[in-house]
Chains A and B, each alone.
Chain A
Amino acid sequence: MSRGLQISGVSKHFSEGSNRVSALEQVSITVEPGEFVAVVGPSGSGKSTFLSIAGALLRASEGEVRINGQDISKLSARELSNVRLQEIGFIMQSSNLVPYLNVLDQLLVVKRMSGKVRAEDKAFAIKLLEGLGLGAKLKGFPEELSGGEKQRTAIARALMNNPNVILADEPTASLDTKRAHEVVSLIAHEVKSRQKAAVMVTHDERMLAYCDKVYRMEDGKLSLALSDAVHAPMTAKAGH
């Protein structure tokens, strides 16, 4: 059994009145651990549907989704929420933090969802946040953070349960160029060093340099646009 994310022959249809609308058509993609993949495409192309299905938030009409070798297409809602909790780290658009939790609690609440918070969980959370440059902001609330700090908190939260798959949905949408580079290079760094299978949906072309592969989504069809060709500039730019 292989690790990472495997999606094969996935389609998704929505009913719109009497019409049947296809959001995804026979999409297949494999993301290996340590691989950082970008999905680009115009709005309405099916990118978000794709990410929702990969993220166990939405069921495919047909096809198979395997996360870390486990087929999630037949799971119950409760089991799906376990998959999201244990196997998937979501990095959403900014301001998707819980407003009344401080930075450290944003991470600890993830542990709370699956039971108790142990001392080593807290230590791990602090280490994660320090690694992302948030050591001085542990007690800060979202409203006191800058856009970049919020996104870095979200990255740390996504890594908190040590998931196998990282999904990022437009993580740079509300950031300026400098912060956007900072955030995506951090994601790339974490993906490489922690061996996660990562998918980033974006239409920010500036960020593609950090990715191993770039897929293009158009009218529900996914195609490989760029392969390892971009690898060189990425390592150069990320430069750690």
Chain B
Amino acid sequence: MFLAMKELMRNKMRFFMIVIIFVLVSWLVLILSGLGNGLSTLAAATFKNMKADYVVFEQGSQSSMSKSLMSDQLVAEVKQLPNVEDASPMGNTMATALKGNSTKNEDKVDIAIIGIDPGSFLEPAVVEGKGLSADNLNGIIANATMKDDGFKLGDTFQLDGTNESLTIIGFVENQTYNHVAAVFAPMAEWRKITFSAPGSDKGIENPVNAIMLQGKDIDPSVINAKLSNTDTVTRAAAVKGMPGFKEENASITMMLAFLLTISAFVLGVFFYVVTMQKTNQFGIMKAIGAKNGFLGRAIISQVLVLSVMSIAAGILLTYGTAAVIPKAIPFKLDSSLVINYSIVLLIIAMLSSLVSVRKMTKIDPLKALGRVE
């Protein structure tokens, strides 16, 4: 630490340049992770926030709500199965909300209608207004982002292409599905909207898209065996089954993986070059008795100090970015995500410094003195 700090203080400019590179790298990594998180939240927040452990789909539906259709009767049956604490049906339809009879672009808003049983464990807590009621089928609770589109509590809007009108009786937060605001409606109302065309319910009585289960110890294979024509998966698998979710995440993950790999090389090369420049000094210190451990610790502690400073600056910049980034960009910082990526960056920096340590151990004090005959 002694050597490391003395050198940092003496050569501020040189190390400042390394810090700038490192800050930019960590900033970019954190922003990208925030964007990835924002995108996946936008795509599946409703699913992710649901207090459900497993999801029952129709067999052959590839864990996708839009490909699955079952009868409501199964809910009562699945509740009887071992380890199932509770079960509740769910349906989903994409729709467009029309503000009044306007034909202006900004007055058409895409929404995802989520059909649930009022009062079930699937119903999120409202932050404004009141919850769903079985007596008021047209009363819905909507994600608070709809306020940005000009909707207020008590507003009634029409669904484009239908005769159905819905009234906002409550607002919830962080409920997005398939990249648009989620609107929770009573199951019966959802069915009316979704299966208005004759035959679209495939003749199933009281159809639902999926049944959400509560119960940590549920064995999916038992459920599949007991209920014919079903496919039970974990909630995480159901999230991945959403159209486009895997693909979207894979793109972000690949960018992050490349970025981290590149940063490992960039930082490694930087530290290596700095070490190479110091070949002579390391040689002198070895000649007067410094051991590899002493000099290795100096290198590693220097990289540690630089990394912590850079990552901290990167985190600050990222939170600064989060504060000014336009709302339209799906950006969501998650402190556990920030901590995880910071640790990953730190580990990468430390690993890349090991190359320099290895180089240092190979320095021959005799050669450094330039006096070999």
Chains A and B come from one and the same complex: yes
List residues of chain A with CB under 8 Å of any chain B CB: 23, 43-44, 46-49, 51-52, 55, 57-58, 78, 81-86, 88, 90, 92-93, 96-101, 105, 109-110, 112-114, 141, 157-158, 161, 169
Taken residue by residue from 1 to 43, chain B's Cβ proximity to chain A (1 for < 8 Å, 0 otherwise) reads as 0110011011100000000000000000000000000000000
Which B residues between 283 and 334 are near A, CB-CB below 8 angstroms? 284-291, 294
B: contact size bracket? 20 to 34
Measured in the bound complex, the distance between the Cα atoms of B264 and A129 in whole Å is 44
Which chain A residues border B284 with CB–CB below 8 Å?
92, 96-98
10 A/B residue pairs, CB under 8 Å, sorted by A: A43-B373, A49-B373, A85-B288, A100-B10, A101-B3, A105-B6, A112-B2, A113-B285, A114-B289, A141-B10
Instruction: Contact check, B287 vs A57: say whether CB atoms are below 8 A apart.
Output: yes
Instruction: Contact check, A81 vs B281: say whether CB atoms are below 8 A apart.
Output: no
Given A105-B6, A112-B294, A113-B294, A84 and B287 contact (CB-CB distance below 8 Å): yes
| Chain A: minimal CB distance from B297 (Å) | 10
Instruction: Contact check, A48 vs B286: say whether CB atoms are below 8 A apart.
Output: no
| Chain B: minimal CB distance from A60 (Å) | 14
Measured in the bound complex, the distance between the Cα atoms of B372 and A90 in whole Å is 16
Instruction: Contact check, A23 vs B373: say whether CB atoms are below 8 A apart.
Output: yes
Chain B residue with the shortest CB-CB distance to A100: B10
Measured in the bound complex, the distance between the Cα atoms of B293 and A78 in whole Å is 10
Selected contact of B291 from candidates A43, A44, A81, A158, CB within 8 Å: A81
Instruction: Contact check, A109 vs B2: say whether CB atoms are below 8 A apart.
Output: yes
B366 interfacial by beta-carbon distance below 8 Å: yes
B204 interfacial by beta-carbon distance below 8 Å: no
Which chain A residues border B281 with CB–CB below 8 Å?
98-99
| Chain A: minimal CB distance from B282 (Å) | 10
Measured in the bound complex, the distance between the Cα atoms of B286 and A100 in whole Å is 16
| Chain B: minimal CB distance from A47 (Å) | 8
Chain A residue with the shortest CB-CB distance to B3: A109
Instruction: Contact check, A85 vs B10: say whether CB atoms are below 8 A apart.
Output: no
Chain A residue with the shortest CB-CB distance to B364: A57
| Chain B: minimal CB distance from A166 (Å) | 12
Measured in the bound complex, the distance between the Cα atoms of B288 and A97 in whole Å is 11
Measured in the bound complex, the distance between the Cα atoms of B6 and A112 in whole Å is 13
Chain B residue with the shortest CB-CB distance to A114: B289
Which chain B residues border A157 with CB–CB below 8 Å?
288
B262 interfacial by beta-carbon distance below 8 Å: no
Instruction: Contact check, A90 vs B287: say whether CB atoms are below 8 A apart.
Output: yes
Chain A residue with the shortest CB-CB distance to B283: A96
Instruction: Contact check, A48 vs B372: say whether CB atoms are below 8 A apart.
Output: yes
Measured in the bound complex, the distance between the Cα atoms of B281 and A52 in whole Å is 18
Instruction: Contact check, A109 vs B285: say whether CB atoms are below 8 A apart.
Output: yes
Taken residue by residue from 331 to 353, chain B's Cβ proximity to chain A (1 for < 8 Å, 0 otherwise) reads as 00000000000000000000000
B89 interfacial by beta-carbon distance below 8 Å: no
List residues of chain B with CB under 8 Å of any chain A CB: 2-3, 6-7, 9-11, 281, 284-291, 294, 365-366, 369, 371-373
Which chain B residues border A92 with CB–CB below 8 Å?
284, 287, 369
| Chain B: minimal CB distance from A2 (Å) | 23
Which chain B residues border A23 with CB–CB below 8 Å?
373
Which chain A residues border B6 with CB–CB below 8 Å?
100-101, 105
Instruction: Contact check, B366 vs A52: say whether CB atoms are below 8 A apart.
Output: yes
| Chain A: minimal CB distance from B214 (Å) | 60
Chain A residue with the shortest CB-CB distance to B284: A96
Measured in the bound complex, the distance between the Cα atoms of B290 and A83 in whole Å is 11
| Chain A: minimal CB distance from B366 (Å) | 5
| Chain B: minimal CB distance from A217 (Å) | 11
Given A81-B290, A100-B10, A52 and B371 contact (CB-CB distance below 8 Å): yes
Instruction: Contact check, A57 vs B373: say whether CB atoms are below 8 A apart.
Output: no
Chain A residue with the shortest CB-CB distance to B370: A93
Measured in the bound complex, the distance between the Cα atoms of B287 and A58 in whole Å is 11
Measured in the bound complex, the distance between the Cα atoms of B281 and A193 in whole Å is 30
Measured in the bound complex, the distance between the Cα atoms of B373 and A157 in whole Å is 26
| Chain B: minimal CB distance from A69 (Å) | 19
| Chain A: minimal CB distance from B342 (Å) | 29
Selected contact of B371 from candidates A48, A85, A105, CB within 8 Å: A48
Instruction: Contact check, B11 vs A100: say whether CB atoms are below 8 A apart.
Output: yes
Give the top 3 A-B pairs by smallest Cβ distance, nearest first.
A85-B289, A100-B10, A84-B289
Instruction: Contact check, B366 vs A98: say whether CB atoms are below 8 A apart.
Output: no
Given A100-B10, A105-B6, A81 and B371 contact (CB-CB distance below 8 Å): no
| Chain A: minimal CB distance from B256 (Å) | 36
| Chain B: minimal CB distance from A124 (Å) | 17
| Chain A: minimal CB distance from B278 (Å) | 9
Measured in the bound complex, the distance between the Cα atoms of B294 and A104 in whole Å is 19
Measured in the bound complex, the distance between the Cα atoms of B373 and A51 in whole Å is 11
Instruction: Contact check, B365 vs A57: say whether CB atoms are below 8 A apart.
Output: yes
Chain A residue with the shortest CB-CB distance to B371: A48
Instruction: Contact check, A78 vs B291: say whether CB atoms are below 8 A apart.
Output: yes
Which chain A residues border B10 with CB–CB below 8 Å?
99-101, 141
Instruction: Contact check, A113 vs B371: say whether CB atoms are below 8 A apart.
Output: no
| Chain B: minimal CB distance from A161 (Å) | 8
| Chain B: minimal CB distance from A70 (Å) | 15
Chain A residue with the shortest CB-CB distance to B372: A48
Which chain A residues border B290 with CB–CB below 8 Å?
81, 85, 113
Which chain A residues border B2 with CB–CB below 8 Å?
109, 112
| Chain A: minimal CB distance from B127 (Å) | 57
Which chain B residues border A105 with CB–CB below 8 Å?
6
